[in-house]
Amino acid sequence: MADPKNLTSLELNPLKVKCTDTDCRKDLHCFKATAQMKKVSTAGVCRECGADLVDWKRVHKKDCNDVQYTLNALRKELIRHHFWHVEIDARAVNYARRKGLANLKTAVRSRIRSSISTPNNPYDGRQTPMEGSGNPIHYAQHATACCCRKCVEYWHDIPQTRPLTTDEIEYLSELAILFLEERIPNLKEEGERIPSIAKES
């Protein structure tokens, strides 16, 4: 076993953030209920410290006119906060710039439809890569809880057991698009010519 004192900074890679991580001292929580929480009807509060910070009835209305409240509430969860603040990889930024805003919006809707619209996906929870994938939509899905049906269910009150409706796909897509517009500002409507970044070998 290596001596920890001799490890270089390159060997000390940070651990990847997980859906159930919390840092309650920094007001970053996890609202994914445990089985016990569901059993005793305490779902909705932080599973670690019990903080009750989200007006779930308000969020679950899926009201496009009140979407800023939902976006602010999402940031209270550590996993979502991470994706609202982590640096988006250069290949993902270039992807967005090449697409342009109009085509990116189309790609978001297509991705939401293909990755989470069907019920009871046996790969649920694994269909959306984490950061570093070269696709900014993946960041947007994690930031807005549109990454898997488990997250969609507790954040957006859409059961895992049925397909998403057209209106639900549109709503979830709108959340992801708002994330992209904030995190990658000044995208041209029709896209730009951007040189490719070679993949690391």
Distances (CA, A) of 95 to 60, 66, 100, 132: 32, 29, 9, 12
At 103-136, the pLDDT tens digits run 999 999 999 999 999 998 899 999 999 888 899 9
pLDDT in tens, 78-93: 999 999 999 999 999 9
Residues contacting 100, CB < 8 A, separation 6+: 187, 188, 189, 190, 191, 192
R_g of the chain, CA atoms, integer Å: 18
Give the N- to C-terminal CA distance of the chain in Å, as an integer: 28
Token pair for 79: 């996993």
